[in-house]
Amino acid sequence: MPAPDSARRRATDLREQIRFHDRQYHQLDAPQITDAEYDQLVRQLRDLEAEFPDLVTADSPSRRVGAAPLRTFAPVQHEVPMLSLDNAFTADEVTAFDRRVRERLELESTEVGYVAEPKLDGLAVSLLYEGGRLVRAATRGDGRTGEDITANVLTIREIPARLRGSAFPGRFEVRGEVFMPREGFRQLNERARAAGEKTFVNPRNAAAGSLRQLDSRITAARPLAFFAYGLGLFPGDALPAEHDELLTALQAWGLPVCPEVEKVSGLAGCLAYFAQLSAKRPTLPYEIDGVVYKVSRYRYQTLLGYVARAPRWAIAHKFPAEEATTRVEAIEVQVGRTGALTPVARLSPVFVGGVTVTNATLHNLDEVRRKDIRVGDMVVVRRAGDVIPEVVRVLPEQRAPEAPEFVMPGSCPACGSVVETIPGEAVSRCSGGLYCPAQHKEAIKHFASRRAMDIDGLGDRLIDQLLDRKLVGTVADLYHLTAEDLESLDRMGRKSAQNLIAALETSKASTLARFLYALGIREVGEVTAQILAREFGTLEAIMAADRVRLMATRDIGPTVAAHIETFFAQSSNRDVIAHLRAAGVHWPDETAVAGAGPLSGQRFVLTGTLESMPRAEAKRRIETLGGQVVGSVSSATSYLVVGADPGSKHSKAESLGIPILLEPAFIALLSRAEAGGTIPE
């Protein structure tokens, strides 16, 4: 059954929320929701996609690991994707994990050997060793593309720049966690306090902030440590039989491995380890947020394989989040770019999970009603990991009898326009559009943001000033700013003004997809913008398309089509676009020729089931990159792509010596090609 409109809208909404929180977590180190909430969003999206398979897109964040990297470091394409872990929050969820493992391995009545490891609260890194030398270190980024942080990692004394002995493979990757031990964190903050500098909120932020320094001398002065826990690229024939043997080998080569790691037997062993480590947690010299259980035998890991984001052979068993009680002083309403109103609880300051908490997002009216949160209420606040807190529940026995229910304002707090709530939708919206100063400001921020027009240096405070002083009305006005205009602003020197003018100039050469995304059309996120750009090729063609034509495009349903049509029908929007183009905004990729691309001339054969995308999607991506997908293997085949349960094509390709790409390598090749990289012949 095709997905109804409501499901399609919900999936779009969930995807945008997940992408937003991915970016907050992975790129900005400023998470806004708990892990559990995040997990809930991903689960809801997966459930929806499972119910309506036509909603599945290859780029859905249910299939990705995180967010794209910051641009200040050179990008690194991971040859083997860096995965994340599924979470378990209760013993029941671990029990279900163990059951799934045994069922898949057909070992129903046998105890599986697991390796149990503390889950460190740091930053995952991948270390590439060639000939025993550390040649590159990268962050995870979005799992496919990370950031090159080699110079910084080389300053961490515990990470060997040269391995010990000679028994290691010629070229391989070690994966593990960079973290800041508690004592180092305490001293770092003490020094910062004494010098009147800003302190770090917690060791994870401190580790992330330290690793992401462009000046590695700063990193060198930070007390960072590292534990290795796994592999990326590694020759199959050098792999030991079990994960604990690998950890022993890594240690022998000089790589630090957490001393708390233990081999355990079956579910009971996992849960006993969890209880034991929970008791030890307060005295450990580093912060951990749970335990990772991994099926130890690599042959089993291979059999179990992966789901899109995470391996089936491992799970993170998270410690319960810290909770505290405080009072709701007020519930305020914030207005977002699309006019969505978000209630936010202002709280009496309370110390929980290592930070003082003063507010918590309440998401939407449904959430406030469901939890029945009222001004003046005493509430339980939870802060899990490194995220802003949530209100878990109200303590109704402490409620004042006259406490009124929260009501969403009927008019926008920023502009007074009518607030609309569509029946069946959780979100209330200001109807003021760009007339609303809050929406207007958010729209300009969005236009300038890194993944849109990428105007370096145009931050929130500057945008506030530009609007307050009426130097900017529409986004097109940004391109008419002069250095003199900018120099008149607070905290803007000549150099910064010139830099911003240069950044505006640079941003004029964009791509059609980025430009479309930057326009901020409702429900047109980055992926939809890319699809539109690929399908139509030119802005004129998109602007001329009616909703029927738009809906003929893959992944564009009636709601999104209607938003696009409405957007381009408005003369004010067409005017802004005309002014932007007149100011020099252009996209050199508009004339890209179909059939040309980094995979042109390459013939691919697909066999077996790919885990991360439907076959049609693989075909489309290859063809978009200029490659060809053919049905049978011959000596003219460039690559055989092998998924689960491959057919006879596999052996034929082997006999002909055709290069075989397993799924991770295939994805890496696509990612490299899509990022504009070259593909080895």
| Helix pair angle (437-448, 460-468), 10° resolution | 130
Decide whether 204 or 514 has the Cβ nearer to ligand 5U1.
204
- Report how far residue 428's alpha carbon sits from residue 163's, in angstroms, rounded to the nearest whole number: 58
For the chain, state the CA radius of gyration.
26
Of 416, 368, 375, nearest to 393 (Cα)?
A: 368
| 65 touches ligand 5U1 (CB under 6 A) | no
Mask of contacts with ligand 5U1, 99-138, x by CB under 6 A?
Answer: ------------------x-x----x--------------
Residue 532 phi, psi (nearest 5):
-60, -45
| 239 touches ligand 5U1 (CB under 6 A) | no
Distances (CA, A) of 379 to 232, 334, 361, 362: 44, 21, 13, 12
| 26 touches ligand 5U1 (CB under 6 A) | no
The CB-of-433 to ligand 5U1 minimum distance in angstroms stands at 42
- Show Cβ contacts of residue 9 under 8 Å, excluding neighbours closer than 6 positions: 425, 523, 559
Among 229, 406, 567, 604, binds ligand 5U1 (CB under 6 A): 229
Residue 571 burial (CB count, 10 A): 8
| 85 touches ligand 5U1 (CB under 6 A) | yes
Decide whether 203 or 646 has the Cβ nearer to ligand 5U1.
203
The CB-of-310 to ligand 5U1 minimum distance in angstroms stands at 7
| 178 touches ligand 5U1 (CB under 6 A) | no
Decide whether 117 or 555 has the Cβ nearer to ligand 5U1.
117
The CB-of-561 to ligand 5U1 minimum distance in angstroms stands at 39
- Report how far residue 190's alpha carbon sits from residue 185's, in angstroms, rounded to the nearest whole number: 8
Decide whether 85 or 513 has the Cβ nearer to ligand 5U1.
85
| 270 touches ligand 5U1 (CB under 6 A) | no
Angle at 588 between CA 602 and CA 61, to 5 degrees: 65
Whether residue 443 contacts residue 463, with contact meaning beta carbons closer than 8 Å, is answered with no
Residue range at the interface with ligand 5U1 (CB under 6 A); choices 54-62, 82-90, 490-498, 656-664:
82-90
The CB-of-175 to ligand 5U1 minimum distance in angstroms stands at 7
| 292 touches ligand 5U1 (CB under 6 A) | yes
Tally DSSP H helices, then E strands, for the chain.
24, 22
Residue range at the interface with ligand 5U1 (CB under 6 A); choices 27-35, 81-89, 149-157, 452-460:
81-89
Decide whether 124 or 625 has the Cβ nearer to ligand 5U1.
124
Token reading at 217: 């001398």
Q: 119, 294, 318, 649: which one is catalytic?
A: 119
Decide whether 177 or 523 has the Cβ nearer to ligand 5U1.
177
Whether residue 85 contacts residue 292, with contact meaning beta carbons closer than 8 Å, is answered with yes
- Show Cβ contacts of residue 151 under 8 Å, excluding neighbours closer than 6 positions: 216, 219
Decide whether 10 or 312 has the Cβ nearer to ligand 5U1.
312
| 389 touches ligand 5U1 (CB under 6 A) | no
Answer yes or no: 318 catalytic: no
| 564 touches ligand 5U1 (CB under 6 A) | no
Sheet holding 123-130, edge to edge: 133-139, 123-130, 171-179, 225-231
Of 294, 363, 271, nearest to 117 (Cα)?
A: 294
Distances (CA, A) of 241 to 80, 295, 298: 20, 11, 6
- Report how far residue 632's alpha carbon sits from residue 540's, in angstroms, rounded to the nearest whole number: 40
Decide whether 83 or 521 has the Cβ nearer to ligand 5U1.
83
Positions 314 through 343 that interact with ligand 5U1 (CB under 6 A): 314
The CB-of-341 to ligand 5U1 minimum distance in angstroms stands at 36
The CB-of-338 to ligand 5U1 minimum distance in angstroms stands at 33
Active site residues: 119
Which residues form the interface with ligand 5U1 (CB under 6 A)?
A: 83-85, 117, 119, 124, 177, 229-230, 292, 294, 311, 314
